[in-house]
Structure 1
Amino acid sequence: MNEISLFILVLYIVSLLALSLLSTIKGVFLYAQREYLKLESELLRFIAGKILRLSQQKIQVSSTISFAKTFFTAVNILSCFFIIYPLKEHQLHTALLTMGISIVLLPIGTYSIPKIVSQTSQARYMVPAYFFYRIINILFLPFTALMFLSTLVISKFRGDSGYFDFLSEEEQRILDDAGIQEDGLDDTEKQMIHNIFNFDKTSVREIMLPRIDIEGVEINTLPQKALESISEMGHSRIPVYTENIDRIVGILYVKDIMAWISKHPSNPWSIKDLMRPAHFVPINKELADLMADMKAQRSHMVVVVDEYGGTAGLVTMEDILEEIVGEIHDEHDEHHEPLQKIGDTTYIADPHIELDDLCERLHYNFDYKNDKYNTLGGLVYYELGDVPKQHTTFRYQALTIEITKMDKQRIEEIQLELGQESSDTSGE
């Protein structure tokens, strides 16, 4: 074997090793980001810190690795061809044999070896992976710079706002770890991911059905009267209270009533005998913790209590799931817009509309920040300090608010009139 043949053989081996290392880099870099605080070695902590800074340059790192893979793949195939060429006089045979060897060996170098590395201690590969990246970044800088610029131009041309701009930096990193790319997501999926990341930051207060809207039955209600009330409510689970809604003592399941009537058609039943225990949670409990508790207790409805022990609201498992997937409608739900425009500056609003949503729909930001409410109805009750009467009207900043429909003590419809002040802040 002459010197040229030896050089080509070395080139082939080096290019195959380079491809293996390039395929390993991404996994090692993600490991460094994930385990940074757990690394005990000062050297590894130092290298991991360098990698963390590199992770902020996603497009540049991706361009460098992509170009290097293309380069070393071409070198590997060409060197394989020139190794085989002296052994096979026919060029077609040489090309076919080169193709066969590449099909077998390239996947081993670019897939099998990185997979083995990912299943072992990745810390030992952190230093070589980092320095190898630095070397290829310097060697291929002119070419990767062109790739980097072209990627930016294409991104701007396509209107891409960035790499998961709707999420925080930490949330972007978690999605990178999971291999989820922005291009593969539609708006609904993006919103769902955003909801998932905000899930453990949301409290029960923000999603509960407020006390004023709770429909229940008194524990001593006669069976026939209870069935009539339950039929009107259209719910499968009904809170049971004594004296008033502040003293909820249990939950009545419609299926339990049906099961009793089916098995004991001639025997009377009572709410007290069929109701199940009620579970109570504090108003500031976080949804992630609540969901875990409800799963453990196999409970589908909980009673939310305020700091004084009174009933603040209700939360169901459906309410929790809606925080992730959005509104869930069943056959009993009447779909209607939470805000309807009936004049140039006049609107009919659902009292349950969230104030953030209201501001967005009105294109007007008013100061309503208060941890005691987050809906329009909550604002009304808080500002008036009592249960309003129908046609009660009051002014709140630029809004003139009128209660246009009541059902006993519950607000059903509110009319809003935007005053002149709104035009000054519209579109902020």
Structure 2
Amino acid sequence: MSDDNPHSSRGSAGKTWLERIASIFSAEPQDISDLEDIISEAASRELIDSDTKSMLQGVLDVSKMRARDIMVPRSQMATIDIEQPVSAFLPILLENNHSRYPVVNEDKDHVEGILLVKDLLQFALDPNQTDWHIKDFLRPAVIIPESKRVDALLKEFRQKRYHMAIVVDEYGGVSGLVTIEDILEQIVGEIEDEHDDEEDNDIKKMASRVFQVSALTPLDEFNESFNTQFDEEDADTIGGIVLHAFGHMPERGESIQLGDLTFKVSKANSRRLLQLQVIRAKESALTEDVGS
């Protein structure tokens, strides 16, 4: 009789589903790999969509991460020296477009505090106010070890309402920093804001020989546009080719020449290249209209 019931298989599957969830959460200790299997099965049954699956997987991944795994490394930290006048550090603010910056004394191992850009607005609006020093606006810097669990750090960010932490190694030297956005990006993916460059087009022509190129541009598309012959067996994207050529994760502003093209990193985070500036050594009729 049950075989003739069109709802019987669905009911059985639903029961199995609930039983599996119950068994996992009642087991001691709980096995994350079992949870990952449940999430994958839910996606395959279309109980959740791919975005939800990615976020759930991101939550599980965060539970296994330490601060060292997601921090912006020391070499890529944008900092302000406590003795710098406004004229010296203003270009840093404009170039990076962050909302807060570590303020250091002489070097990055001596962090004096955190500067919130919004605290300077009153002086930007009133140029007659000159009797002030950057140290008057410093907020306390939160210091955490590299081994700090990321999920615990996110909880502290929320409870204590701060958004940045300085990461130190076992000897007390600064090794990087972590923001609440860095953690959220592990869960929901890259977060773009109004300051991020538009990336709707993979290739944009900026000047006669200068192009803005997404690092995720498929290599075959890049080869066709620039009349290059990078081996598609070496990488799927132009970013992969550039990263391989550097031999390390480059910082913003680093450049390398490949053939008659110079690649300059214009946007990157601690994990991947995002945007490249490509400069041709000379004009080529074959690529005159690239990115137009």
Q: TM-score, normalised by structure 1?
A: 0.43
Query: Over aligned residues, Cα RMSD in angstroms?
Result: 4.4
1:11-50 alignment, distance < 5 Å: 31=22, 34-35=25-26
Q: How far does residue 280 in structure 1 lie from its aligned partner after superposition?
A: 1.5
Say yes or no: does 1:338 pair with 2:215. Answer: yes
Say yes or no: does 1:329 pair with 2:192. Answer: yes
Amino acid at match of 1:337: S
Q: Determine the structure 2 residue equivalent to 1:253.
A: 116
**In 2: Cα distance, 1:30 partner to 1:279 partner:** 39
**In 1: Cα distance, 2:245 partner to 2:175 partner:** 14
Do the aligned residues in 1 keep the contact of 2:67 with 2:146 (CA within 8 Å)?
A: yes
Q: Percent identity?
A: 30
- Structure 2 counterpart of 1:291, from 151, 154, 167: 154
Amino acid at match of 2:248: V
**In 2: Cα distance, 1:226 partner to 1:283 partner:** 28
Do the aligned residues in 1 keep the contact of 2:82 with 2:104 (CA within 8 Å)?
A: yes
Structure 1 or 2, whichever has the larger Rg, is 1
Do the aligned residues in 2 keep the contact of 1:200 with 1:286 (CA within 8 Å)?
A: yes
Name stretches of at least 5 consecutive residues in structure 2 with no aligned partner: 1-11, 200-212, 267-272, 279-292
Say which structure is richer in helix. 1
Q: How far does residue 193 in structure 1 lie from its aligned partner after superposition?
A: 1.7
**Pair 1:33–1:281, CA change in 2 (3 A):** closer
Amino acid at match of 2:229: D
- Structure 1 counterpart of 2:35, from 170, 187, 194: 170
Q: TM-score, normalised by structure 2?
A: 0.60
Amino acid at match of 1:273: D
Q: How far does residue 237 in structure 1 lie from its aligned partner after superposition?
A: 0.5
**Pair 1:32–1:285, CA change in 2 (3 A):** closer
**In 2: Cα distance, 1:29 partner to 1:209 partner:** 39
**In 1: Cα distance, 2:169 partner to 2:59 partner:** 26
Provide the secondary structure at the position in 2 that maps to 1:184: coil
Provide the secondary structure at the position in 2 that maps to 1:240: strand
- Structure 1 counterpart of 2:95, from 217, 232, 238: 232
Larger RCO: 1 or 2 (CA < 8 Å, sep 6+): 2
Say yes or no: does 1:380 pair with 2:262. Answer: no
**Pair 1:272–1:216, CA change in 2 (3 A):** same
Do the aligned residues in 1 keep the contact of 2:265 with 2:277 (CA within 8 Å)?
A: no
Q: How far does residue 169 in structure 1 lie from its aligned partner after superposition?
A: 2.4
**In 2: Cα distance, 1:244 partner to 1:265 partner:** 31
**In 2: Cα distance, 1:377 partner to 1:281 partner:** 34
**In 2: Cα distance, 1:220 partner to 1:380 partner:** 33
Amino acid at match of 1:345: F
Number of equivalent positions:
226
**Pair 1:36–1:277, CA change in 2 (3 A):** closer
Say yes or no: does 1:266 pair with 2:142. Answer: no
- 1:12-52 CA distances to partner (integer Å, 9 max, x unpaired)? xxxxxxxxxx9xx77778555533559xxxxxxxxxxxxxx
**Pair 1:361–1:310, CA change in 2 (3 A):** farther
Q: Determine the structure 2 residue equivalent to 1:319.
A: 182
**In 1: Cα distance, 2:145 partner to 2:245 partner:** 21
**Pair 1:326–1:34, CA change in 2 (3 A):** closer
1:12-411 alignment, distance < 5 Å: 31=22, 34-35=25-26, 168-173=33-38, 182-259=45-122, 266=129, 268-334=131-197, 335=199, 337-340=214-217, 341=219, 342=223, 343-345=228-230, 361=236, 380=248, 391=256, 404-405=263-264
Q: How far does residue 327 in structure 1 lie from its aligned partner after superposition?
A: 0.6
Say which structure is richer in strand. 2
Q: How far does residue 339 in structure 1 lie from its aligned partner after superposition?
A: 4.2
Do the aligned residues in 2 keep the contact of 1:223 with 1:269 (CA within 8 Å)?
A: no
**In 1: Cα distance, 2:20 partner to 2:265 partner:** 60
Name stretches of at least 5 consecutive residues in structure 1 with no aligned partner: 1-21, 39-166, 348-358, 366-374, 383-388, 394-401, 416-428
**Pair 1:170–1:339, CA change in 2 (3 A):** closer
Provide the secondary structure at the position in 2 that maps to 1:308: coil
Do the aligned residues in 2 keep the contact of 1:303 with 1:313 (CA within 8 Å)?
A: yes
**In 2: Cα distance, 1:403 partner to 1:280 partner:** 39
- 1:280-314 CA distances to partner (integer Å, 9 max, x unpaired)? 22223221011122223311011122233222222
Provide the secondary structure at the position in 1 that maps to 2:132: coil
Do the aligned residues in 2 keep the contact of 1:403 with 1:413 (CA within 8 Å)?
A: no
Amino acid at match of 1:320: I
